[in-house]
Amino acid sequence: MRSRFVVQLHDATRLHYDLRIQLGDVLRSWAVPKGPSMDPAVRRLAVPVEDHELSAGDFEGVHEGSRRGTGAVIIWDEGQAEIVRDEPGHLTAELHGHKLTGRFGLTRTGANRWVLVKVRDEHARPGSDVAAERPESVRSGKRWQDLAGVRG
Ligand code: MN
């Protein structure tokens, strides 16, 4: 199944990454505190959150009235996604992003706890830390702090 994905870096109560993968006409969503990794040895906590409308994946800017954090959001990565497996408690998708490429697995490990892991494939980069290496928006080149600063 052909779809798209987006990862938004969001400064709210805590800085986190919102991973959203299109399934049909919604974006299934997880909050990933430390962000994705291209290193298959790294398991990242992914907390499932409610589905979002497709249009939510295009937002980059500052959410006004954010109670904690600045509310700044950047589109950290996006691209086409191929859904490889979709079953209860597990999703595998092949991502064709600017930063994230190849297969990723999302697996439920607890009541409100999933893990996000890079599958060992030719795109994997052991030892890398893409969140630290590539902090900028793939649309504007800005960092979330640039947007937050605009707000004064
Ligand atoms: Mn968020």
pLDDT value for 40: 98
Q: Six-digit token pair at 127?
A: 């030892």
Look at residues 75, 81, 107 and name the one whose alpha carbon lies nearest to residue 22.
81
Cα(19) to ligand 1 centroid in Å equals 9
CA separation for the pair 85, 105 (Å, rounded):
9
pLDDT value for 69: 86
Please give the average pLDDT of every successive group of 10 residues along the chain, which has 152 residues.
92 95 97 98 98 97 86 97 97 98 98 97 98 98 89 45
Could you tell me the residue ranges of all domains in the chain? 2-148
Sign of the alpha-carbon torsion through 129, 132, 133, 134: positive
pLDDT value for 152: 43
CA separation for the pair 58, 140 (Å, rounded):
12
pLDDT value for 37: 98
Instruction: Provide the pairing of β-strand 113-118 with 101-110.
Output: antiparallel
Look at residues 95, 20, 12 and name the one whose alpha carbon lies nearest to residue 57.
20
pLDDT value for 94: 98
Cα(46) to ligand 1 centroid in Å equals 12
Cα(29) to ligand 1 centroid in Å equals 9
What is the pTM assigned to this prediction?
0.95
CA distances to 3, 14, 45, 140, 152 from 95, in Å: 10, 26, 19, 20, 36
Cα(12) to ligand 1 centroid in Å equals 7
Cα(23) to ligand 1 centroid in Å equals 19
Q: Six-digit token pair at 75?
A: 């589109």
pLDDT value for 150: 54
Look at residues 9, 16, 3 and name the one whose alpha carbon lies nearest to residue 92.
3
pLDDT value for 13: 87
pLDDT value for 134: 98
